[in-house]
Amino acid sequence: MSTAKLRLGPLPRTEPVKLTVTLSAELKATLDRYASLHAQTYGERVDAAVLVPHMLEAFMARDRGFRSARRQATEKR
């Protein structure tokens, strides 16, 4: 098992909702490499498509501007 620290940890089980996106070939290859490293790190093979929603969730959770806008929208209600 690799000792690399990945920002995306082990994946939780969630209820899926399907969404179709189009990626560049380069981005898809990068996602595949990340999925491979994730599998080495956590010992469980995962398809790159399964990683995408978790990556987006992590990205939005760390986006200060997005969090601030959500907070302001909630306060206005």
Residue-by-residue DSSP string for the chain: ---PPPSS-SPPP-----------HHHHHHHHHHHHHHHHHHSS---HHHHHHHHHHHHHHH-HHHHHHHHHHHHH-
Q: What is the pLDDT of residues 37-51, one digit of tens each?
A: 999 999 999 999 989
The answer to whether the Cα torsion of 3, 63, 32, 17 is positive or negative is: positive
Q: Supply the pTM of this predicted model.
A: 0.70
Q: What is the pLDDT of residues 20-32, one digit of tens each?
A: 999 999 999 999 9
Distance CA 38, CA 2 (A): 9
